[in-house]
Structures are given as C-alpha cells and as structure tokens.
Amino acid sequence: MSVAYSPDGQRIISGSYDKTIRIWDAETSAAVGKPLEGHSGWVESVAYSPDGQHIISGSEDKTIRIWDAETGAAFGEPLEGHVSGVKSVAYPPDGQHIISESDYRTIRIWDAETGAAVGKPLQGHTDSIWSVAYSPDGQHIASGSQDCTIRVWDAPRRTFTRYPFSSNPMQPHFYALPDEDGWVHDSEGRLVYWVPPDYRIGLRSHALLTIPPTSPIRSVSLDFKDYAYGPSWTQIFNSAQP
C-alpha cells in the first residue's frame, strides 16, 4: 500500500495489506531482517526519518508507530488520536515532528521524540484526506483530499530544549536551519556557525547539505563529533597545548 526509500537510497520499505512492514536492500532486492509487526490493521503509509534512523507507519488500526530502522524494534507506544485509518504520514526536513492524516478529514502533528500531540488537529477539508507532505524548508504542510482540493498550512515552529554550551554533537540546534543571513543559532539566540549562501537552500536534518543539480558539488555532510562552541572550545584548545 506504500513504499519509500531510505535517505541514503540503500533501503526500501514497504507497508502492506498483510499488516506488516518489510525492509529491502535496494541493490540486491533481498529482504533485510524480519517483517515489522505490531499493527492490527493494514499499513497504509510508511516513511523514513530524515536521518534514516527511524521508520514511521500509519495504519487502518488508527495508529502511527515508530520503529528503529536498524533493529526493527518498536520505538515507544503507538501514537493514538485519529478516529479512523491513517492514510499518510510524513516527517519535516528537521525530523522534529510527524504529521499524519486520516479519512476523517483531520491532520495531526506529533512530537517525533515524545509522541505527544502538538497543537490542535488541522481541519478544513470536507472529505477524506489522502496525502500530506512538508515543504522542503519545513515551513508549510500540503494536504490532498477527496474533496478535490489541496490545502497549504503553516507548519508549527521548531522548538528547542535548552542545553548548556558544550561539544555534545547531539544538541538539536546544531541541525537547525540558518536564518536569512546564513547563521544557525542556539536556543538562546547565540551564533553557532555560518552556512555559505550556496549551501543554505538544501539544508536538511543532521546537517546534510543537498546542493542544486547545477552545482558540481552534489552533497556535503557536516561532521560534529569534534565540534565545540561557546566556552567549550577553550577547554579543548587548552587541553591540546603542550
């Protein structure tokens, strides 16, 4: 009922009427691991998170499930709130939220980490919604409905947990989109790093920069494992002195 590629193109996932999700090697076509089982209804939509670490699925059983893409284990409890089958699920480019829609004319937004509902359901279509998608910049959500219309919605703003300055590469603002001047800010509004103009449009979660086809450079990945900012860089600098 639904198929999707992993962000690196090495895997394909499929959601089926048999209530399972399967993972396939995109090059050899071989099945990878065992089917992901847990839904009590057919799986109508599947998608990878932007970093490729998780898989989400929407089912006729009215729930959304999150899976570990490597192990196939269920991640947390099913997301519940829809009153009819979930036809479509999607991540924004930053991976912070999940959107889902059902044939009950509603779109719901979820926190991808906690599974909590974000805000009120989006309502306005007069018939079943069949598909949802995020804009490349994560600012808007588009929905297509059986009422013969497409609607565009403002997406919720990203939220950040407040962390002290450190060299921990998992801080979420490391992967934030740059402002109009190219600067990425931390949760306190302080400057973290600057992105050159040619690389801003394609910025994706986990700092994968997708370059336009006209560029001789296809993609650039930023490695944060040794990255430090704020007071932390002075600690690393001093420790490196003889």
- The answer on 125 and 11 residing in a single domain is yes
Domain contains 217 = yes
One domain, residues 129 and 201: no
What is the CATH number for 77?
2.130.10.10
Q: Are 26 and 54 in contact (CB under 8 A)?
A: no
Q: Are residues 177 and 141 part of one domain?
A: no
Cβ contact 90:133 at 8 Å: yes
Instruction: Determine the pLDDT at residue 206.
Output: 47
Residue-level pLDDT at 166: 38
Query: Residue 204: inside a domain, yes or no?
Result: yes
The answer to whether residues 84 and 104 touch, using CB atoms and an 8 Å cutoff, is yes
Q: How many domains does the chain have?
A: 2
Last-in-domain residue among 105, 121, 154: 154
- Is 98 found in the same domain as 12? yes
Domain membership of residue 93 as a residue range: 2-154
Same domain, 100 and 44: yes
Looking at 154, 186, 221, which one is the last position of a domain? 154
pLDDT at residue 184, as a whole number: 78
- pTM exceeds 0.75, yes or no: no
**Same-domain check for residues 147 and 182:** no
182 and 149 co-located in one domain: no
The Cα 129–Cα 110 span in angstroms is 17
Same domain, yes or no, for 143 and 186?
A: no
Q: What is the DSSP letter of 237?
A: H
Q: Which residues of the chain have pLDDT under 50?
A: 158-170, 205-206
Backbone angles phi, psi at 51, to 5 degrees: -90, 0
The last residue of one of the domains, among 96, 127, 154, is: 154
